[in-house]
Amino acid sequence: MPFNHVSRIDDRVPVRNAIVSVYDKIGLPDLARGLVESCPGIRIYSTGGTLSALRTILGPAAERILVSMEDYTGQPEMKGGLVKTLDWRIYLGLLSEPYDPEHAADRARSGAVAFDLVVGNLYPFGSVSSASGPFEAARQNIDIGGPCMLRAAAKNFLRVAGVCDPGDYAAVLGELRETGGMLGLATRARLARKVFDTTSRYDAAIAAFLGSRAEAGLGGEYEVG
């Protein structure tokens, strides 16, 4: 099957549907309030602890703005939060193209939302991994869903903005305020580059850790049957 060839895109894309699911909640109150103020009619889809935090931040307005990802996908989170966002409808909404009629038909058939923004950051693997620390603690802090969503958004930067660094919140909100809730192509491309740089360094840290621990042994943490 040949890859899609995209020939038509928009410079500025209005942010109507956003996924916000962050481990590090620094800056989350300003981000959430700024998105609501700058993006008319925005819906924010979220998970777990982020969803709870957003409910508190947005107060009564949360009822019309927030959507639980469990409600959207129709699936509860796996124990321990191991699976929250690995779902067909989420990735259809991230990777589909606005001017592709077959993609539009897929969204209509499945009731999928076209997402315009993903805000996420990763489990703190680097802060829990060390040559002498517990192996299992490090393994559990290998993020799966976060990198997948951010990479999908970054791949489709022609339409979707992926924000992986709280340090970018202010600039993103500034542009949204100036444009009435839209993000430009240059901004989306810049953010995409940062996503791939961040996830590549994250994966490299995991690979280095696993290599060092494989050489040193797992320290007898597991009962091996």
pLDDT tens profile 33-73: 999 999 999 999 999 899 999 999 999 999 999 999 999 98
End-to-end Cα distance, the chain: 43
Q: Which of 132, 128, 136, 157 is nearest to 23 (CA)?
A: 128
What's the pLDDT at 128? Answer: 67
What pLDDT, in 10s, does the model give residues 170-206? 999 999 999 999 999 999 999 999 999 999 999 998 9
Per-residue tokens: 142:
């290998």
Tell me the CATH architecture of domain 13-214: 3-Layer(aba) Sandwich (3.40)
Place of tokens 């979707």: 160
Confidence of residue 13 (pLDDT cuts 50, 70, 90): very high
CA distance 84 to 75: 8
CA distance 108 to 135: 45
Task: Specify the DSSP element, H or E, that contains 184.
Answer: none
Q: What is the pTM of this model?
A: 0.91
pLDDT value at 216 more than 60: no
CA distance 72 to 113: 9
Structural domain spans, the chain: 13-214
CA distance 149 to 146: 5
